[in-house]
Amino acid sequence: MGMLHKYYKQSATYKVFIALIDILTDFLDTLGKITQNGICVIKSLLKGHIDFKELIYQCSRFGVSSLPITLTIVGMTSVIVTSQVALEMVKQGGGNYIGMMMSILIIREVAVIMSGFAIISMIGSSLASELATMRVTEQIDAIEVLKVNSVEYLFVPRVLSGILMMPFITLIAAAVGIIAGAITADLFAGLNYRAYFDSAWLGIYMKDLWVSLLKAVFFGGTIALISCSCGYFASGGAKGVGLATTKAVVWSFVAIVIWDMIFAIAFFF
């Protein structure tokens, strides 16, 4: 029996099982820490404990710095989609619906999702590595020695900047995406701009716009909260910084996809 147990522990099945248990444990532990930090951030916001100077800096970092890559990704996505469907729709007599289709697609999904992905790649990873470096170099410990609430000091400006700036980024990205679609439809399918924008205007509903902006608020806050939390609890030197950054990016991607599914079920089913 002892030998059987020994061989079982060396089997691939046992190793996979243990790996899954470790992943699940890490998932629940990280989720609990993120929730705890989120509650602390909400309490600080309700109390009005906000460093406005730091908030302005983080808003500039979150919004202005990430805008070029965000607009590039959304614009190129619009060009790719329009180039593949516009000509076929014109051939089938559906040219007057291209603008409507693209406006619905961009406002509901492409603008906010692609903006979220761009923010995660550029800002989320930066936030995680910044706080992880502060943790492994004991800067956060020094803040706490000075009797300063480190979560309130480090998290509130970053999370609030994500909440405030993400809707503006989404609006600008949506406008760029729709315009890029119009140019592409004209070049690839010969659809004039008037027909495209008339159709796009008919496809834009206030509900879609408000849902997209609300979604952006949740995306921005979630990305900042997860990235800061993963960096805040980093350990293990330079390797720990890398692991924290990777975890922040992966978790943020998964989180915004889950949020997107929740919004789709809640508002469009």
CB 66 within 8 A of CB 119: yes
Q: Which residue has the higher pLDDT, 88 or 229?
A: 229
Res. 8: pLDDT tops 60: no
pLDDT > 90: what percent of the chain?
A: 38
- Domain edges within the chain: 51-268
Contact 202, 100 (CB under 8 A): yes
pTM of model > 0.75: yes
d(CA 123, CA 65): 9
Closest by Cα among 179, 134, 216, 166 to 63:
166
Residue 5, pLDDT > 70, answer: no
| pLDDT tens digits along 106-144 | 999 999 999 999 999 889 999 999 999 999 888 988 888
CA angle in degrees (0–180, nearest 5) for 60-76-181: 110
pLDDT (tens digit per residue) in 179-220? 999 999 888 888 888 888 888 888 788 888 999 999 999 999
Tokens of 220: 């921005």
